[in-house]
Amino acid sequence: MVNPSWASTDQALGISIHPWAGQECVDCLIANNVFYNCEGQGISIGPSGESTDVTNNEIRNNICLDCGNNSIDGADDKGLVISSGTETNTYTNNCFYTSGVTNVVDYYGTDESIASFNNETTDTTTNNISADPLFTDAPGGDFTLSADSPCLNTGIDVFLTQDITGTFVPQGGVPDMGAYERLASAKANIARKRRMNH
């Protein structure tokens, strides 16, 4: 299991899950992380050699924003790169977004939009989104979710009890995507404002 809730910015890439030949990555959880402005892809998963098992892993509730901005391996503008030999993994409730780019996923060598990726059947790929997560101040290093973020209340329970700052998860019944859970009091105010506007 990869420890959930991490925020990474301006790195070569976010996280690479590529065990060497003879090793494996099975039944791991990569959840509630933020990858921002990485030169390479936000999340990369696949074998690095023969007889490598990369299966039954769960990638959930992560946010990759503006990744692949200077890739050296052809992963330009990609939030997620999945190599062949990694079948039967689960990718759900993640946000992959690069401004002005539709195909933010490389799925077994094919560039795909989130809409196409969510309909794949080799792996479990559902409830992923491609929308600006609307961080409070990403360039300034503040990856908390703003009031209008599409990542609020769109995560899935991964048995995470606290976020990166110690805030209890979930607040308001449904977890948020990313490393920072928005406080219930703030969510209640958002819900109240939305009701008043309808």
pLDDT along the chain (198 residues), means of 10: 56 82 87 92 85 88 92 82 88 97 95 97 96 95 94 96 92 93 69 45
Per DSSP, 18 falls in state: -
Within the chain, what is the greatest distance between any pair of CA atoms? Answer: 58
**Could you tell me the pTM of the whole model?**
0.88
For the chain, the straight-line distance linking the first and the last C-alpha, in angstroms and rounded, comes to 43
pLDDT computed for residue 187 by the predictor: 53
Instruction: Extract the runs of DSSP E, i.e. beta strands, from 23-176.
Output: 24-26, 29-31, 33-36, 43-45, 53-55, 58-60, 63-65, 80-82, 90-92, 95-97, 105-107, 110-112, 124-126, 135-137, 142-145
Phi, psi of 188 (to 5 degrees): -60, -40
* Contact indicator for 130, 99 with CB cutoff of 8 Å: no
- Using DSSP bridges, classify how beta strands 15-17 and 33-36 pair: parallel, antiparallel or unpaired: unpaired
pLDDT computed for residue 40 by the predictor: 86
